[in-house]
Amino acid sequence: MTIEAVTFDLWDTLVYNRNYGEYRLPELKRILQTCGLELSDDEVNEAYMSGFRHSSRVIPAEGYRHVETSEIVDKVLETIGYSSAETRDLLVKVYEEAILSDPPKLKQGVFEALDYVQGRYKVGLISVTGVSPGRIVREILRDHGILHYFDVLTFSDEVKLVKPNPRLFTACLTELNIRPENSVHVGDSYKSDVIGAIDAGMKTVWVKTREQEQKPGYVADFILDSLFELPDALRALG
């Protein structure tokens, strides 16, 4: 089958992933203080982590559905024992926009890879957004000068599913109007990208940046050390 479309993962494939707790935690504590809540650092940390533990537990238990930032914040406030719609909305904004305080850097080989695929294939992005929604990620891609490379952007907060649910991948392919067997997905996570894309019927290129446990029956078509090797892999796939 001829490859007609290439889709990319975002985090740790095109941009470096990082923890933005250093921005969210101080703001969480400050906002809670303005509400008259004097909590210790340990109490704030525990409340903060309770939200992400909730997300990590619910996602696989409920068919890999997307957990809204508001649901995470609700868990934080529940842990503290406080309820306020105004505070909730303010914290959601803090969580979602923290990434703009110090946007993630592009990984090496991104421009070279995107330059190669543009014009040769339809190009998609398939990203699990976490607490940084698609509207924020679009800003980051635009600021990095790579937004224009993509024909379709598929974000978990907009489709309401996360990887490795194959329906997140097929949502992108449907919008691209490409059959799964005529597409290849490029990503760094074996579980999220390789397994998810294979279950969707796609070819896979695994940019292996770290050792990860593998599952019998799920073998990437190509394993790369970096995006610089992507053109050769795509030529080999046809």
What's the mean per-residue pLDDT of the chain? 96
Q: How many alpha carbons lie under 13 Å from residue 68 in its C-beta half-sphere?
A: 9
- pLDDT confidence of residue 19: 87
Q: Report how far residue 78's alpha carbon sits from residue 179's, in angstroms, rounded to the nearest whole number.
A: 44
Which letter does DSSP use for residue 76 in this model?
A: H
Task: Tell me the pLDDT tens digit for each residue of 176-194.
Answer: 999 999 999 999 999 999 9
Could you read off the pLDDT of 1-10 as tens digits, one per residue? 799 999 999 9
**How many whole angstroms separate alpha carbon 69 and alpha carbon 33?**
21
pLDDT tens readout for residues 67-126: 999 999 999 999 999 999 999 999 999 999 999 999 999 999 999 999 999 999 999 999
Output the pTM of the full model: 0.94
